[in-house]
Amino acid sequence: MSGGLLVAGTTSDAGKSVVTAGICRWLVRQGVKVAPFKAQNMSLNSFVTREGAEIGRAQAMQAQACRVEPTAQMNPVLLKPGGEQSSQVVLLGKPVGEMSARGYHGGRQQRLLGTVLDCLAELRGTYDAVICEGAGSPAEINLRRTDIVNMGIARGAGFPVLVVGDIDRGGVFASFFGTVALLAPEDQALVAGFLVNKFRGDVSLLEPGLDMLHGLTGRRTYGVLPFRHGLGIDEEDGLRVSLRGTVRESVVAPPVGEDVLRVAVCAVPLMSNFTDVDALAAEPGVVVRFVDRPEELADADLVIVPGTRGTVRALEWLRERGLADAIARRVAERRPVLGICGGFQLLGEHIEDDVESRAGHVDGLGLLPVRVRFAREKTLTRPGGEALGEHVEGYEIHHGVADVTGGDPFLDGCRVGQTWGTHWHGSLESDGFRRAFLREVAAAAGRRFVPAPDTSFAALREEQLDLLGDLIEHHADTDALWRLIESGAPQGLPFIPPGAPA
């Protein structure tokens, strides 16, 4: 087999990331050497490869589905929003500057097409198949001229396109038809067909509509995937402002001890790597909730201040909402608080920032003996070490350099009483360390909570990826998918008017 496929979507969050991962895992189980690819990703959820390159976490997850190490070539362009109008541009794993949306789409994006096609060609030369993920919708007619992630990459590589639609949102038939009908003839010729995602109910009731869609477009539906809870692993969520009320899904198993453990995560602006708490949510008896009001911290056994792309902005937000005072009261009462990356930085005494916010000297919350200075060069590492008597691994993505002047050592940060701070993302995925940390939290909170002795986050992640592979294997026409990946889009697909406007 030698080929590839672009998984596009009718909208953002249609399920492109999980469908791509599912196809990758299905192919791996057939003995195919496969790699994921996303030319351009907009996300604050990122990961560091072993070579020290920063890429989207979705592509790192897809690489795991492929059972290969993630590389910068799998996500050559990463945009990290710093607000509504600008983003940090990360090229081949390294930041190259801040740019406005107008400046990026006004010329810089198109100049990157050669780079992303080179990366794709390198992967195609190494793997049997490359499964590409698009971004948003391929029918963004205002952006088609500079597109390097949807039809631009499909046309450049000659890849067939599978359009995913989220039927749970409604309007999926109109979305499928309209997506094709707004593409130029050359782009339409690559759109092979559709995949329905998140379907609830009796598929036989849907089939007449799929037949009519085929009659209207000349394109078949390659599968109907049923709705499944808990498959939104490593989401992108590049511009989500608040996650208040969102609960990270926990395993169904009851707590091992007599009590549950309640974790409140402050939904700070420009939150980054909120997937850090997924390992906590995987523990039986741990309830993880995102909050944005001080009263929601009252019954929490652990409060987490997560990473953020805007440390100073998050600090202001905590103060404006009264959360800063609520956290300070917790610390005075010796109730557990954990700061991760930007959350660690703002718990310190002061911040000197002439890089991210350009605010200069800013007083922190003063809850940890730490002083932070923002450096222009970004720290991108995969550290390992020991804490609480257990081995820990993580990854670091930050401009802030912490000068720790007291407290007890904790990873690269410090601990004072029940207040903890570290730059290490992903540390809670280390099972032994996570259990030891939760035991300390439970003791400090006075909860009779006992961590499950056998929870393996890596094994749970593998189970999720296998479930994604099962969805493709059991609910998609895999013979037809195989032909599509190997041979490209069917010949003679009809043009659906009106096509792309001039």
CA angle, residues 355, 361, 363, in degrees to nearest 5: 120
- Classified as helix, coil or strand, 191 is strand
Among the listed residues 24, 341, 399, 475, the single catalytic one is: 341
- The 10 Å Cβ neighbour count of residue 332 is 10
- Angstrom distance (rounded) from CA 140 to CA 361: 42
Does 341 qualify as catalytic in the annotation? yes
Sign of the CA dihedral with 100 first, then 101, 106, and 107 last: positive
Peptide bond into 208 cis (omega under 30): no
Q: Which residue has the tokens 């407290």?
A: 407
Cα gap 295→90, rounded to integer Å: 38
Question: Helix (H, G, I), strand (E, B), or coil: what is residue 272?
Answer: strand
In the chain, the amino acid numbered 330 is R
| Interatomic CA distance for residues 340 and 353, integer angstroms | 18
Q: Which residues of 93-106 are buried (b: 16+ CB within 10 A; e: fewer)?
A: bebeeebeeeebbe
**For 426, phi and psi rounded to 5 degrees?**
75, 5
User: Please, which contacts does 258-261 make with residues 24 or more away whose CB atoms are closer than 8 Å?
Assistant: 258/448, 258/449, 259/285, 259/442, 259/447, 259/448, 259/449, 260/285, 260/286, 260/287, 260/447, 260/449, 261/285, 261/286, 261/287, 261/301, 261/302, 261/438, 261/441, 261/442, 261/445, 261/447, 261/449
d(Cα 100, Cα 414) in Å, to the nearest integer? 36
Return the closest-CA partner of residue 2 out of 86, 128, 190: 128
Q: Identify any residues that bridge with 165 across adjacent strands, giving them in sequence order.
A: 196
Q: Diameter of the chain by CA atoms?
A: 71
Active-site residues, by number, are: 341, 425
